[in-house]
Structure 1
Amino acid sequence: MQPRPFRFPPAAAPLRLAIRSALGAACLLPFAAPAQEAPALEPLVVTGTRTEKTLADTPIRTEIVTREELERTNARTLTDALENIPGLLLTEIHGKSGYELSLQGLTGDQVLVLIDGLPISASTSSTVDLSQYLLTDIDHIEVVKGAASAQYGSSAMGGVINVITRPARPGLSGTATLDAGSYGDQNSSGGSLKPANRHGLFTLQGGSQTLRARIAADVLDDDGFGVDPDSWSRQGDEVRRQQYSARVDWLPTAAQSYWLDGSVYREDDTQRYTTFVPPNLLPQRKTEHITRDRLAGGGQWRLDNGMRLQLKGLGESYDSASNEYSQDYLVTRRNAKQNMGHVTAQVDLPAWHSQLWQLGVDYHREDMTQDNNGVSEFVRAGSVERSSRELFVQNDILFNDTWELLLGARAQDDSDFGSHFAPKASLRGKLLDTADWNGVLRASFGQGYRVPNLKERYYLFDHSALGYMVVGNPDLKPESSNSAQLGGTLTFREHLSLEVNAFMNRVKDLIQTDMNDVAVVNGISVYTYRNVARARTRGIETGLRWDATPALTLTAGYTFNDAKDLDSGNELTRRPRHVGRLGFDWRFLPATELTMRTRVQSGELVSSDDVAQTSGGAAGGGRSPGWTTVDLAVNHRIGRQLTLFVGVKNLFDRQRDFTNPTDFGPLRGRFVYAGARYAFGGTQ
């Protein structure tokens, strides 16, 4: 589908002027006036080791999305927050109004998503829907790729996404954000000027130095969009997302702290599509109501001898009720319920002969029920459940100011799959340390594993009306992997930073739908999940950051990924070989900043039946074409409290061809938005 010409309507003249002015001013980049700015503090990260370390000092490679980046790009959901990380891919979840991720060629089932180190429920007990977490109280996000850390068990063989929230602050402060946007002539409600997407966020916090609390509300309302708004079908679903939370922090002494965080999430979405029943296209509709209730809490104690103790846990329920209609007649009513509990305890021992020992235990339990028109959709009737008990140990050995070795191991005892043991090792060397140059080498090796999720083992995915069904397999074995990372970071005067990392992941007993062993029952093709393959992903990730002036920062990233089925020798599907990121942040006026983010992705194989088709970026047979998108945002600060912003996502309107089933390019076309963010009481 060719990009459509776009013209701003007369009422959008201010936005047109702002964007044209910003683009015109970009020509003056070399002459940007330097702005005085306090030096930034080195970020602290915790995901790789579960102890606070600066980003430069952590032995496990960690990438970070700062709160400043979230505000600069006006991100609303976890999907928005992660889309600019090099090598991280986002794809739509089949049959859902959300997105999942993959890291280094490993899928969303193999990547663990955490909130403050605690897991979040996966949609239908499979992969986490990133769109179902709004960025209400986020401080920053940490990304660890590969199975390098001993801190995390099943589902972390591909890496970890850890969302770090902010504790409540003393005093009285708060924020309020309102914004709205339009899909132009694809607005479902008609009229390109009418806001088709509305968002509101409010937080209020306060208290004393020892006791403080915060409440927050975040609502995102999207009318959806359609290539032809006058037709029944909608390519973009109508979705309303709501997230409400409350948090209490108690710090009775300098040596101990406690926190309690509760949140509720509500989602209502509607999908509209057609099914061909000769000789007509019949209108179809699916509605889904999702609720997630989460209560998490924990405490931390520091003893006089330097020992630190941590304990935290959560209870979470996730319910989904969906109805499918054909010409307004209810044909399917599906209900799914999940419950999850997780407790983790950790002991950090005092430093001993330049060694930092850490011990910890995790307990995890989950169960799920699902029915279709009152009939269980599991291979066995009733609810399904699993639990695991895990022990991890880690020793951080500081040989000298140059070399650091992190050794770890994790043992898991699963209720259904017995025991598993995974060793880990990471090496960090500060090879260059002068007044101008700093160079750090990082190498890691770790074994990963993933227990089959409840969906793969028990779920009956019945699409008989479409001629097929997928049946769960209770006899699946866990996946296992070997993950190796080798790379380094070179920094010049903290203004120029270059990072290069090579990776290899080898997966054994890869779980996927077996397309080669199909049973036909009453004309219906019946597939099942099997441990059918060995796979390998390998490649190189690069990242560059250049603070050209105090007012201008340039960033770039490139990832090459070679993903192969080692049994067949074929390329793995939905894994593009080339992914690029390019961006800049330019404060061309003292209070006004222009941000640009570009994403480039090569073609990707869609069907393994078409491996003989052209490779690279060519579109042919089962290969989706490559694509490029550009986002622009202008943030203008008025005083210390008010920020006005405007932006365009997918500036050049690169949208997939919906008539081509192998085109998996961007789902949404151009989206124009504007809004305001207000902070009071010292909240920044």
Structure 2
Amino acid sequence: MAGHNPRKWVKVIRCESGKLAGLGALSAAGALSLIAGVAQAADAPIQSGQLSTVVVTATRTEKDLADVPIRTEVVTREEIERTHARTLTQALENVPGLQIREIHGKSGYELSLQGLSSDQVLVLIDGLPISASTGSTVDLSQYLLADVERIEVVKGAASAQYGSSAMGGVVNVITRPIRKGFHADLSADIGSYGKQNDSGRAAGIGSTHGKLGLEGGSDTWRLRLSADVLDDKGFGIDPDAWSRQGDKIKRQQYALRSDWMPSARQRYWAELSAYREDDTQHFTYYVPPNYVPRLKTEKIERDRVVGGGEWTFANQARLQLSGVAERYNSDSDTFSNDWLMTARQAKQRMGHVTTQFDLPTWRKQNWQFGADYHYEDLSQSNNGVSEFAQGRVDRRTVELFAQNDIVFNDNWELVLGLRWQDDSDFGTHVAPKASLKARLLDGQDWQGVVRASLGKGYRVPNLKERYYVFDHSHLGYMVKGNPNLTPESSVSAQLGFRLDWREDLTLDVNGFYNRISDLIQIDEDNATPGGPGVVVYSYRNIARARTQGVETGLRWQALPSVAFNLGYTYTQTRNLDTGSELTRRPQHMARVGVDWSFLPDTTLTARLRYQSRELISSSEANGAVSGAQADGVSPAWTTLDLALNHNFNKSWTAFAGVNNVFNRQRDFANQSDFGPVRGRFVYLGVRYRFSDAP
């Protein structure tokens, strides 16, 4: 395909797919996936580029990734399968600029980007929110990937279609459209932590994983059933000791989805899903003069109901309506020498309805209007006694948004947006956004695009920050909510360019600037005693802050069988009230990926990740740190993952891999070391696929 412009091919395919709309064989999302698949089929054997990927998150309308006016990064299904990612945590850890970090006191993971925390990043499943594990922070480990088509990441407050929680950006998980005919997808794998296996046997099994997907149907009706189970036995640096550095966790996710397409202009869908998690922690607690063995168990249940419809009218106007109702329960019990010490229960309820109306193109303008209604409530008890004076706390939000996508010509596009928000606790707020895309280079071989965005972000304190009680007494601290918090606000600016040479080379550079007012953080300077050996912290609006930096990415198809992906992010943060660096924000992060098809049906994949030192304690921020191992600073780390895939035929694939090849693991005796928790992990598995498409 040298000398051809893939965007022109996509436009032609889109036109032809529109002429075939009367067939009604594909839903709107399915047609878009087919378009992307046809374009990708002409690429080299290793498809590391994303020139023809269709995305929806940035503007909530389908656009080619190279043409979208708001910068979007994509994790494809091919990347997920190539690296054998099992959870959303693993799927995102190779995205440049995303910091995946452990949720302190829990076994899950959260993300941070452009120096903004996980509370400021909105995580969606098909455009609808998912409940956070603790009232605000979404635990990325609590979503398995059996049904995922791709993951789209928009950084900064650039899009008007997303509200309070999207001040730092949006991560949107897009599930696969259901295919016609009958299809089956099964896979299973086992893995080992070596000498750190919970059993103490280096050759033993430390983890098992299996997933199943069955789907199919006709032009009108389609159905999918999926199951994904990940059973991790846990690990310990000394398996003979009581304490375990890695929890024993069993995660299960089941889903049933149905699509109904009575005509080419109508589509309806409904999905029921259930997630279950059983977590066991082994640790010791110091009661002078001895360390007492303790055990903490947590059972998590998430039940989710999703439904919606989409209508396309004769004049090409389109109406979409979708909603989700979710129940999230967590039961946590702590034992000391088999005696029940605490029994904490937390219950969350969340409901969200969104509607969107896209007008037909008018004078090169694409108007879009929408509305969101969001409801959530939270209750928490300890040993049967409510920890909230009100018994239960709740929050309601109504939001309206409008967007105009103005396409001046093939080279210039301007997106203007406005979002109005009314919160039950904090009143109204208006956030304007603007994004500009300019194609400055459009030759036979070279393509160059500049993107700029400016947006106002706004985030109300969530229920966790205002009311939730994190009781990590076994770690020596508690965190209590503060009902007197006020909302955060920000200004976000992004400026970058993308340069493509044919299909072989892509260079992406983006500068970002975020200025936050009334930043919400745990205030370490006002800690109070909470009992023997326990310190109590609270959330406060403590600072004005700034984050700024640059993100770079390079994709190079060096040979038909070899592809490289490189990314580097520099981030500088400041507390503008004190002049100090913000905690838990590393300055340097780098990602290096290599895919090599050294045999026709065999591919070797390498993913290297580097993260520089990060400040842990604000008391070290004013030049007191002399080395990476100093108190209050987590040292830099580097990890390397290797994955191997061999296709025997169209149905059978064998795979194997080694995560953290060099066994880089944190020093668990150093409370300031936030390096990788897991050491080397070796696994192997097999996948089977069957397709009886008409």
TM-score, normalised via structure 1 length: 0.93
| 1:155 match: secondary structure | helix
* Whole-Å separation in 1 of the counterparts to 2:439 and 2:268: 36
Query: Compared with structure 1, are the counterparts of its residues 54 and 285 closer, same or farther at alpha carbon in structure 2 (3 Å cutoff)?
Result: same
280-289 or 111-120: which moved more? 280-289
Going from structure 1 to structure 2, the CA distance change for 1:107 and 1:616 (only over 3 Å counts) comes to: farther
Match of 1:423 among 426, 429, 432: 432
Of 608, 621, 638, 2:648 maps to 638
Partner of 1:584: 594
Deviation at 1:36, TM superposition (A): 6.2
| Correspondence for 1:492 | 501
Deviation at 1:194, TM superposition (A): 1.3
Matched, 1:155 2:165: yes
Alignment of 1:231-270 (within 5 A): 231-270=241-280
Picking from 318, 326, 330, the partner of 1:308 is 318
Q: Say whether the 8 Å CA contact 1:405–1:427 is kept in structure 2.
A: yes
Aligned CA RMSD, in angstroms, stands at 1.7
Alpha-carbon distance, 1:528 to partner: 2.5
Of 485, 509, 522, the residue aligned with 1:513 is 522
Aligned position for 2:148 = 138
Could you report, residue by residue, the CA deviation over 1:379-429 in whole angstroms, capped at 9, with x for unpaired residues?
A: x23110000000000000011111100000100011110001000000000
Identity rate of aligned residues, in percent? 63
Contact kept? 1:602, 1:617, Cα under 8 Å = no
State TM-score, norm by structure 2.
Answer: 0.91
Paired residues, number = 649
Contact in 1 for aligned 2:415/2:434 (Cα 8 Å): yes
Q: Which amino acid aligns with 1:86?
A: P
Whole-angstrom CA distance in 2 between matches of 1:635 and 1:225 = 26
Distance 1:525 1:232 in 2: 25
Question: Whole-Å Cα distance in 2 between the matches of residues 167 and 616 of structure 1?
Answer: 54
Give me the whole-angstrom Cα distance separating, in 2, the residues matched to 1:109 and 1:408. 23
What residue number does 1:90 align with? 100
- Residue among 534, 538, 550 paired with 1:540: 550
Counterpart pick for 1:450 among 456, 459, 462: 459
Aligned to 2:582: 572
Structure 2 residue 448 is the aligned partner of structure 1 residue 439 = yes
Q: Give the match for residue 378 of structure 2.
A: 368
Give the deviation of 1:234 after TM superposition. 0.2
Q: CA separation in 2, counterparts of 1:316 and 1:532?
A: 33
What corresponds to 2:133 in structure 1? 123
Q: CA deviation at 1:475?
A: 1.7
Distance in 1 of aligned mates of 2:404 and 2:97: 30
Give the structure 1 partner of residue 492 of structure 2. Answer: 483
* Equivalent of 2:571 in 561, 569, 577: 561
Tell me which residue corresponds to 2:234. Answer: 224
User: SS of the residue aligned with 1:70?
Assistant: helix
Give yes or no for contact 2:228–2:252 (8 Å, CA) kept in 1: yes
Q: Pick from 462, 466, 470: which aligns with 2:479?
A: 470
Among 37, 50, 66, which residue is 2:76 paired with?
66
Give me the whole-angstrom Cα distance separating, in 2, the residues matched to 1:62 and 1:558: 16
Q: CA deviation at 1:96?
A: 1.5
Please give the alpha-carbon distance, in whole angstroms, between the structure 2 residues aligned to 1:616 and 1:80.
33
Counterpart CA distance in 2 for 1:214 and 1:94 is 36
Alignment CA distance shift 1:419-1:291 (3 Å):
same
Q: Name the SS of the counterpart of 2:165 in structure 1.
A: coil
Q: CA deviation at 1:472?
A: 1.9
Q: Deviation of residue 516 (structure 1)?
A: 2.7
User: 2:91 aligned with 1:81, yes or no?
Assistant: yes
**What is the distance in 1 between the residues matched to 2:674 and 2:200?**
26
The range that moved more, 473-482 or 40-49, is 40-49
1:625-664 pair list within 5 angstroms: 625-664=635-674
Specify the alignment match of 2:352 in structure 1: 342
What residue is the counterpart of 1:16 in the other structure?
Answer: none
Paired AA for residue 560 in structure 1: Y
Match for residue 22 of structure 2?
none
2 CA distance for matches of 1:311 and 1:35? 39
Q: Secondary structure at the match of 2:630?
A: coil
Q: Is the 8 A contact 1:484 1:505 kept in 2?
A: yes
Is the CA contact (8 Å cut-off) linking 1:613 and 1:621 kept in structure 2? no
Shift of 1:520: 5.3
Gaps of 5+ in 1: 1-33
Residue 194, structure 1, aligned to residue 204, structure 2: yes
Describe the SS at the equivalent of 2:164.
coil
Contact 1:182-1:197 within 8 A present in 2 as well: yes
Please say if residues 298 and 330 of structure 2, whose CA atoms lie closer than 8 Å, have aligned partners that are also in contact.
yes
CA distance in 2: counterparts of 1:251 and 1:84, whole angstroms: 37
One-letter amino acid of the structure 1 residue matched with residue 431 of structure 2? A
AA at the equivalent of 1:442: R
Letter in 2 for 1:536: R
| Structure 1 partner of 2:5 | none
Please name the residue that 1:275 is paired with. Answer: 285
**In 2, Cα distance between the equivalents of 1:268 and 1:645?**
28
Q: Unaligned stretches of 5+ in structure 2?
A: 1-42
Q: CA separation of 1:565/1:40 partners in 2, compared to 1, >3 Å: closer, same or farther?
A: closer
Structure 1 residue 458 displacement after superposition: 1.5
Closer, same or farther in 2 for the Cα pair 1:97/1:519, shift >3 Å?
closer
The alignment status of 1:388 with 2:397, answered yes or no, reads yes
Give the aligned partner of residue 295 of structure 2: 285
Deviation at 1:464, TM superposition (A): 6.5
Output one character per residue of 1:180-211: Cα deviation in whole Å (capped at 9) or x when no partner: 10000000012111111000000101110110
Q: 1:461, CA displacement in angstroms?
A: 3.8
8 Å contact from structure 1 (residues 613, 622) kept in 2: no
Give the Å deviation of 1:35: 7.1
Matches of 1:40 and 1:368 in 2, distance apart?
A: 41
Structure-2 change in CA distance of 1:36 and 1:124 (3 Å): closer
2:90 counterpart SS class? helix
Question: Is 1:408 aligned with 2:417?
Answer: yes
CA distance in 2, matches of 1:526, 1:330: 22
Aligned to 2:58: 48
Shift of 1:514: 2.1
| In the alignment, structure 1 residue 206 sits paired with structure 2 residue 245 | no
Deviation (angstroms), 1:610: 1.3
Distance in 2 of aligned mates of 1:481 and 1:576: 21
Aligned CA distance change for structure 1 residues 584 and 175 (closer, same or farther; 3 Å): same
1:228-256 Cα offsets, whole Å, 9 max, x none, are: 00000000000000000000011111111
Are the equivalent residues in 2 in contact too, given 1:603–1:619 (CA < 8 A)? no
Equivalent position of 1:672 in the other structure: 682
- State the match for 1:102 in structure 2: 112
Aligned letter for 1:366?
Answer: E
What's the CA shift for 1:327?
Answer: 1.1
Provide, for residues 527-572 of structure 1, a one-character-per-residue CA deviation record: whole Å limited to 9, x for no partner. 4221110111100000000011111101100000001111100000
Partner in structure 1 of residue 12 of structure 2:
none
Classify 1:237/1:440 alpha carbon distance in 2 versus 1 (closer, same or farther; 3 Å).
Answer: same
Which of 507, 510, 530 is residue 501 of structure 1 equivalent to?
510
Q: Secondary structure at the match of 2:78?
A: helix
Q: Which stretch has the larger CA shift, 508-517 or 537-546?
A: 508-517
| 1:10 paired residue number | none
